[in-house]
Amino acid sequence: MIRVQEEDFDVGAEIAALTGGDRSIGAVATFVGLVREMAPVEGETRAIESMTLEHYPGMTEKKLAEIEDEANRRWPLAASLIIHRYGTLSPGERIVFVACASAHRHAAFEACQFLMDWLKTEAPFWKLEATDTGGAWVDARESDDHAVARWTDKPDAAE
């Protein structure tokens, strides 16, 4: 399931809804991304006043669904969930929630990490960090490209 929304989410309620009493689920792996208080800006570490996330409705959901479909193809998941927020957020606020449920922990852990790695590089979101010196768009990071590259080396992790 994919949700792109402005409003915050309740992690406990989302996990309960995801598993829905399915007793075949033996593991749920989750990731919650938060707005950091500090970030590197032009070679210095600056305090973040806010982060504004923008996206293209329709295109964003389609891409997230493709990424989620790929995770479900690679691992035997009972359920998966991606919630990504947009709008202006303050330090400490939740940005993203990814949850993967499976009969076994290995599939849940790997699928959750796969989803986050691919979201960081492929999801069409743009992030503007506001500091006391102005705003700066967050550039792609080489470390994110390296993280996603390991999944392209393993075309079928379910084997």
Domain assignment present for residue 135? The answer is yes
- How many domains are there within the chain? 1
Domain that holds residue 103: 2-152
Higher pLDDT, 154 or 67: 67
With a CB cutoff of 8 Å and minimum separation 6, the contacts of 15 are 28, 30, 99
* CATH classification at residue 26: 3.90.1170.40
Domain assignment present for residue 124? The answer is yes
Give CA–CA dist 16/54, Å, rounded: 29
pLDDT band at 59; cut points 50, 70, 90: very high
What's the confidence (pLDDT) of residue 152? 80
Which of 10-24, 60-74, 84-98, 118-132 has the least mean pLDDT? 118-132
**Cβ 48 vs Cβ 35: under 8 Å:** yes
One-letter amino acid of 46:
R
How many CB atoms are closer than 10 A to CB 145?
12
Could you tell me the pTM of the whole model? Answer: 0.86
Domain assignment present for residue 158? The answer is no
**In a 3-state reduction of DSSP, which class is residue 29?**
strand
Domain assignment present for residue 159? The answer is no
Domain assignment present for residue 102? The answer is yes
**How large is the greatest C-alpha to C-alpha distance in the chain, in angstroms?**
52
With a CB cutoff of 8 Å and minimum separation 6, the contacts of 148 are 117, 118, 120, 121, 122
Give CA–CA dist 112/61, Å, rounded: 18
Q: Which residue has the tokens 């959750």?
A: 112
**Cβ 79 vs Cβ 22: under 8 Å:** yes
- pLDDT per position as a tens digit, 88-131: 999 999 999 999 999 999 999 999 999 999 998 888 999 998 88
